[in-house]
Amino acid sequence: MRPSVRAACVLLRLFCARFSVFCSVTRSLDGKWSLSNSDGSVSLPAEVPGCVHSALQQQGYIQDPYFRFNDVSYRWIALDNWTYTTTFSVSGQLRANHKVLLVFDGVDTAASVWLNGIIVGKTDNMFRRYDFPVRDLLKDGDNVLNVSLLSPVLYASERRTAHSAYRVPPECPPHVQQGECHVNFIRKQQSSFSWDWGPSFPTVGLWKGVRLEAFDVLQLVRVSSVPLHSLSQWTVQVELLVDAVQTTNAQIALSIPELDSEQILQTQFLPGKTKNSFTLNINTSSQVKLWWPNGHGDQPSYHLTVRGFQGRDLILNTESKVYFRSVELVQEPVVGSPGLSFYFRINGKPVFLKGSNWIPAHSFQDQVTPAVLRNLLQSAVDVGMNALRVWGGGVYEQDLFYSWCDEMGIMVWQDFMFACALYPTEDDFMQTVREEVVQQVQRLKSHPSIITWSGNNENEAALATDWFNIPAAQRAAYLRDYVTLYVNNIRALVQEEDQSRPFLVSSPTNGAESEQEGWVAADPYDPHYGDTHFYSYSLDCWDWRTFPRTRFASEYGFQSWPSFSTLQPVSTLEDWSYNSNFSSHRQHHEDGNQQMLLQAALHFKLPNSTDPLKRFTDTLYITQVMQAQCVKAQTEFYRRSRSEIIEGRGRTMGALYWQLNDVWQAPSWSSIEFGGKWKMLHYFAQNFFAAVLPVGFEDGGTLFVYAVSDLSPDLELRAVVSAYSWSDLDPVCTLKSDLLPVPGGSAAIVFKQPVAALLAGCGSCTRLTCLLTFHLEDSGGQQGPTNHHFLSSPKDAQGLQRPNITATVQEGPAGYSISLRSASVAAFVWLDVGNVPGRFSSNGFLMLSRNRTVSFDAWRETSVEELSRWLSITSLRDVY
């Protein structure tokens, strides 16, 4: 900091303390409020930020809402109206300011706000910040603030009734979801009325902070900084959203000292809330250190300071983190393929997106703690993910989420919050959406992690493939509404606010081709264009031919059940069977429980223990095995398709499986259970997202091994393929290919041999008695993980015996480790320590050695005794 600026800061502090001129005063109103329902029969203290469900639970009025069938038992909560009340006093100093605003960072959802008996405003959108001028309503002594919230369910229904001209489907969720209707009429987390992985808990509350902000001259509402790159020159677009009491002339000093860049500009802040834009040229552009996605480099940041002076007085002083990175979405003709490419170029480098889809981490957002967020994001990067899609049926996540994505190198595909529905476009709806979009883009655009905006989830597909049986004569009207909302409004606003990243109207979409076709393509799932979502539960997931050879897979997945230790706290003995009412109740996807078993039965023997509890836990296990293996197969297919065009299709540049996390303890597509425990799928992701990966598969009886590399340097790799008998821990034979070139960022064939020939040269192996393992190596040794290929379904394998794995838990300087000893080959070896939170270094593995040591990273204090007591080991042969 320059001495003159330091002196000015000291002066400002002294000045503020004595005269309160040019200084804004903030008074938080967070903390304990009181809460009551419409007829006053329930009244209790309630924490703000928070929601009614959380308050009722914290005060002991209700049990854990996630326990058993409580989502249905507690339906009444969201059918009632609720009022939050607080009483506060304010200093004379605060009231003496010219402007005093009552600020709500988030109100969920339809509310009227009363101060000292006078209404100060209304809210209708949980995704907006609201502020109301209240200076003249404040008084000496006690001030009473009430926020009266309408039942979101009744409010949504009223909005539906008011919209009588034509229907805006889907009206209600499928019966199996036990949800509420018409959520598309209100600006609220769409999945809070139920989803195919989540319960119906339509929340009510003040879900973000509340405060008073008082100032005399002006106040900075928000600062944003967006770097732009053009002709090798960086500039930083700095925007100040300022609320000024009167016209104020100021001198603005922008500076990034580390880059020797400073600029002084004259400006005038006009009365009211205005956006003021400035450009800082980076003189030393060639020295700028770039932000890279995880696996491609570091995430360095710079400090931008912004100061405003009126004469010699410092009237504004703020800072912002700046990360430099450029992003392009490349949609251009592809040689040998009809259609257009679809991939992201970060800092000029094509990057394959590896990751998953993010849903809300809890039904009650006030219970999403920093620890919960951190654990999930850390779990994502630790398995090699570089991207997450914040899905459009949830919430725009909290600031911390994006700051951590910035720091961890997680690219974010950010949807706007519209999903799986049509939406109204009448004036008041559009107006609140417009404000939501502007606020969210301004809040989020400084984050380098966000690499694209996307208007909605699956609404282009919903229209194109007619999910809602729209009569042909009315189709044009619905298309018009679609274009009005996502193109003429959301897209236009985003492009005005942010020129630094692409905007996609929907996901999935054909991108530029959808635009050509009037924004709703005939087939938004066309693999020649844009991104695709693909689900099939009945086709054999081990057969890669069933997967679309898409440009970009932004959703695909399979369900599984969470582990017993996750279910146990929300269930009782009578629930612990696959056919219990509880098991059906938690399954929100039609036929989901049946689909999992049918898919599993294609390749595995289903659990058949006569002990009901063992049979239940074994079934949970087998669904996880199935899911892990299915998503592995599909992800490996997408990764190996990055360089190829086959029959006009390919060049896949993204694999984001559905879904990363869970909102409650139930079967879903997630790889991480509610509470943070990794499913087998998440452990598998450690391998299938590895930077260098061998992928093996058969085509017409020939075994191919591809080397997939996300690394920049060109490599020379060979495949080492070994055959093992199911009945023996020593390899039967091993084959090596020649070293072959694998260019940086590519997938190349490094091994090819007919399986029959391979087996003929390998002792007494047959498809039923042997399996294959393979890895890559260069002249220095193994590169990437060891992978395997089953030559037949494990249910048909001959020679697989019960491995009788024994284990010893030890504690050493590096933490806990578990030494395993197996008598024979064991598949899908699963270690579980019940409800001791933590994670293993690997899990769900194929054990082809007598001994193996796995470490356990405990997330709370534990002991060798506790771990030994809870440790259970299950492998494929143990469940039948």
- For the annotated catalytic residues, the residue numbers are 458, 555
- Give dist(CA 813, CA 818) in Å, integer: 14
Q: Pick from 196, 460, 513, 575: which binds ligand BMA (CB under 6 A)?
A: 196
Q: Which of the ranges 195-203, 279-287, 320-328, 694-702 carries the binding residues for ligand BMA, by CB under 6 A?
A: 195-203
Q: Which of the ranges 98-106, 155-163, 191-199, 515-523 carries the binding residues for ligand BMA, by CB under 6 A?
A: 191-199
CB 457, min distance to ligand BMA, A: 5
State yes or no: residue 588 binds ligand BMA (CB under 6 A): no
Under 8 Å between Cβ of 144 and 116:
yes
Under 8 Å between Cβ of 123 and 113:
yes
Q: Pick from 22, 155, 193, 197: which binds ligand BMA (CB under 6 A)?
A: 197
Q: Which is nearer to ligand BMA, 203 or 506 (CB)?
A: 506
CB 354, min distance to ligand BMA, A: 19
Q: Which is nearer to ligand BMA, 523 or 728 (CB)?
A: 523
- Give dist(CA 844, CA 830) in Å, integer: 5
CB 801, min distance to ligand BMA, A: 38
Beta-sheet strands, E only, within 639-765 = 645-646, 649-650, 654-657, 692-699, 702-709, 715-725, 731-736, 740-742, 746-754
- Give dist(CA 714, CA 278) in Å, integer: 42
CB 619, min distance to ligand BMA, A: 21
φ, ψ at 842 (rounded to 5°): -155, 160
State yes or no: residue 415 binds ligand BMA (CB under 6 A): no
Name the burial class of residue 467, with classes exposed (0-12), middle (13-18) and buried (19+) by CB atoms within 10 angstroms of its CB: middle
State yes or no: residue 458 binds ligand BMA (CB under 6 A): yes
Q: Which residues are CB-contacts of 809 (< 8 A; sequence separation ≥ 6)?
A: 816, 817, 818, 856, 864, 867, 868, 871
**CA torsion through residues 237, 241, 247, 250, sign:** negative
Q: Which is nearer to ligand BMA, 124 or 531 (CB)?
A: 531
State yes or no: residue 457 binds ligand BMA (CB under 6 A): yes
Q: Which of the ranges 117-125, 193-201, 431-439, 614-622 carries the binding residues for ligand BMA, by CB under 6 A?
A: 193-201
Q: Which is nearer to ligand BMA, 393 or 838 (CB)?
A: 393
Under 8 Å between Cβ of 77 and 52:
yes
Under 8 Å between Cβ of 729 and 826:
no
Under 8 Å between Cβ of 563 and 833:
no
Q: Which residues are CB-contacts of 528 (< 8 A; sequence separation ≥ 6)?
A: 337, 338, 339, 340, 513, 551, 648, 649
Query: Within a 13 Å sphere around the CA of 429, how many CA atoms are in the beta-carbon half?
Result: 20
Name the burial class of residue 812, with classes exposed (0-12), middle (13-18) and buried (19+) by CB atoms within 10 angstroms of its CB: exposed
- Give dist(CA 453, CA 506) in Å, integer: 9
Q: Which is nearer to ligand BMA, 418 or 706 (CB)?
A: 418
- Give dist(CA 640, CA 549) in Å, integer: 10
Q: Which of the ranges 192-200, 442-450, 614-622, 849-857 carries the binding residues for ligand BMA, by CB under 6 A?
A: 192-200
State yes or no: residue 358 binds ligand BMA (CB under 6 A): no
Q: Which is nearer to ligand BMA, 66 or 197 (CB)?
A: 197
CB 394, min distance to ligand BMA, A: 10
CB 320, min distance to ligand BMA, A: 33
Q: Pick from 342, 637, 658, 724: which binds ligand BMA (CB under 6 A)?
A: 658
CB 345, min distance to ligand BMA, A: 26
- Give dist(CA 676, CA 690) in Å, integer: 21
Q: Which is nearer to ligand BMA, 170 or 785 (CB)?
A: 170
CB 593, min distance to ligand BMA, A: 14
Q: Which of the ranges 189-197, 479-487, 576-584, 624-632 carries the binding residues for ligand BMA, by CB under 6 A?
A: 189-197
- Give dist(CA 460, CA 513) in Å, integer: 13
Under 8 Å between Cβ of 657 and 634:
yes
CB 557, min distance to ligand BMA, A: 7
Please give the size of the binding site for ligand BMA, defined by CB under 6 A. Answer: 12
Compose the 662-701 pattern: x for residues touching ligand BMA by CB under 6 A, - for all others.
-------x--------------------------------
**CA torsion through residues 457, 459, 465, 468, sign:** positive
Site for ligand BMA in 516-575 (CB under 6 A): 533, 555
Q: What is the 3-state secondary structure of 499-552?
A: CCCCEECCECCCCHHHHHCCCCCCCCCCCCCCCEEECCCCCCCCCHHHCCCCCC
Q: Which of the ranges 120-128, 194-202, 448-456, 670-678 carries the binding residues for ligand BMA, by CB under 6 A?
A: 194-202
CB 393, min distance to ligand BMA, A: 6
Q: Which is nearer to ligand BMA, 252 or 420 (CB)?
A: 420
CB 445, min distance to ligand BMA, A: 24
Q: Pick from 134, 210, 376, 420: which binds ligand BMA (CB under 6 A)?
A: 420
Neighbours of 330 (CB within 10 A): 13
Q: Which is nearer to ligand BMA, 503 or 525 (CB)?
A: 525
Q: Which is nearer to ligand BMA, 557 or 784 (CB)?
A: 557
Q: Which is nearer to ligand BMA, 404 or 669 (CB)?
A: 669
Sequential DSSP letters for 70-110 = HHHHTHHHHHS-EEEEEEE---HHHHTSSEEEEEES--BS-
CB 114, min distance to ligand BMA, A: 38
Sequential DSSP letters for 188-242 = S-GGGEEETTEEE----B--S-EEEEEESSEEEEEEEEEEEEETTEEEEEEEEEE
Q: Which is nearer to ligand BMA, 74 or 195 (CB)?
A: 195
- Give dist(CA 469, CA 465) in Å, integer: 9
Compose the 371-400 pattern: x for residues touching ligand BMA by CB under 6 A, - for all others.
----------------------x-------
Q: Which residues are CB-contacts of 620 (< 8 A; sequence separation ≥ 6)?
A: 560, 561, 562, 563, 564, 567
Q: Biggest alpha carbon distance in the chain?
A: 93
φ, ψ at 257 (rounded to 5°): -55, -40
Q: Which is nearer to ligand BMA, 81 or 659 (CB)?
A: 659
CA 775 from centroid of its chain's CA atoms? 31
Compose the 17-56 pattern: x for residues touching ligand BMA by CB under 6 A, - for all others.
----------------------------------------
- Give dist(CA 689, CA 673) in Å, integer: 19
What are 506's two structure tokens? 């929907």
**CA torsion through residues 281, 285, 291, 292, sign:** positive
CB 543, min distance to ligand BMA, A: 21
Site for ligand BMA in 700-759 (CB under 6 A): none
Q: Which residues bind ligand BMA (CB under 6 A)?
A: 195-197, 393, 419-420, 457-458, 533, 555, 658, 669
